[in-house]
Amino acid sequence: MPFQGSLKWHWIAVAAIVAFWSGAVSAQATPNYPIRPITLIIPYTPGSTNDIEARIYQEGLSEQLKQTVLLDYKSGASGIIANSALARSAPDGHTLAWTSATTTILPAIRDDIPYDFLKDLAPVGQTTKRIFLLTTAPNLPVKNFQEFIAYAKARPGEITYSTVGQGGAIHLSGEWLASAAGIKMTFVHYKGAAASDVDLMAGRISVSAKGLVGALPLIKSGKIKVIAIYTADRTPLLPGVRPVADMGVPGFDYPSWVGILAPAGTPLSIINRLSSEFRKAVTSPRAMKDWEAQGTLPVGSSPEEFRRMLTVEAARWKKLVIDNKIKLDPGA
């Protein structure tokens, strides 16, 4: 299987980067840091996929830093509550926050955010990226992505696309796909994935973007179909399925990534130390087994690389919203 070898080389490359950065950062790290437990703010509820991944970091960081790492759950408002709490925290490296693409989307769709994520928050690094799939109802009469696009173009607005919240990454990536592919879809916003899955399997929803792990059992049982990988990376778990970016929508890449932020003003030596330690946690033997089983890709980017990515994403979402006149319904 050619993609399996490619994925292994990806992990080897990440491990080499970790070794380089660990040596480079150790000489400049603050000697007495950390002096007390570290709190990682999680903008989700306990038991979610994000919580499970955070616990992998929690265990690794606790061993590496010789300090307890506490998880503080502050869900709601698409991460605004969590990021606001982080922005108010002391910039000493003892309070961090888990973040995702929603952080870069919010400024494009809301004008009531009480912080500027590029000024009030400091990027530590992107930790992982998850594989997402473009799936369809079992009764949708298409066999592949090209047939889907042709079908949608012939029926403007008839294709329904489920999201797990208006204004979120799945919603806006769907708007991105529609705009780039020249199709028109009707977006149906759910409060959670469970109800969306029921309607997709029953054919009441046409298409949905779904995480690899949750989608695989439904695909194998024939309850839904997969027509493309929504992220730009292939996966050995579905060797015959190609990314959307390879099939007429160049540059398309659903941003299912995870990263870590600190309060602005946190000393650079601490930011670099944390970045190095997160890289180690992401590439630990236990983590690597989990990533392979889940179709998750380890990243471990530097603070500078992460800042560049955040800046590029924020600009892209703003342009998408303006060009397509996307507005949230009142109360969303």
Structural domain boundaries, residue 125: 2-130+256-322
160, HSE (Cβ side, Cα atoms, 13 Å):
14
* The residue to which tokens 């000697």 are assigned: 31
In a domain, 123, yes or no: yes
312, HSE (Cβ side, Cα atoms, 13 Å):
9
pLDDT of 168 above 50: yes
Q: What pTM does this model have? A: 0.85
* Residues 285, 213 share a domain: no
Per-residue pLDDT, averaged over 130-157, amounts to: 97
* Residues 217, 113 share a domain: no
In this structure, are residues 310 and 328 in contact, taking their beta carbons and an 8 Å threshold?
no
Per-residue pLDDT, averaged over 51-72, amounts to: 92
CATH number at residue 14: 3.40.190.150
Residue 302 is predicted with a pLDDT of: 97
For residue 285, which phi and psi values (nearest 5 degrees)? -55, -40
pLDDT of 25 above 70: no
- pLDDT class of 27 with cuts at 50, 70, 90: very low
Residue 293 is predicted with a pLDDT of: 81
For residue range 316-327, list pLDDT tens digits in order. Answer: 999 999 999 998
Percent of the chain whose predicted confidence (pLDDT) is above 90: 74
* Residues 260, 246 share a domain: no
Q: How many domains does the chain have?
A: 2
* The residue to which tokens 């004008």 are assigned: 111
For residue range 192-246, list pLDDT tens digits in order. Answer: 888 999 999 999 999 999 999 889 999 999 999 999 999 999 998 999 999 999 9
E strand residue ranges, 60-120: 69-73, 95-99
Strand order in the sheet with 225-229: 185-189, 159-163, 207-211, 132-136, 225-229
Residue 89 is predicted with a pLDDT of: 98
Residue 5 is predicted with a pLDDT of: 46
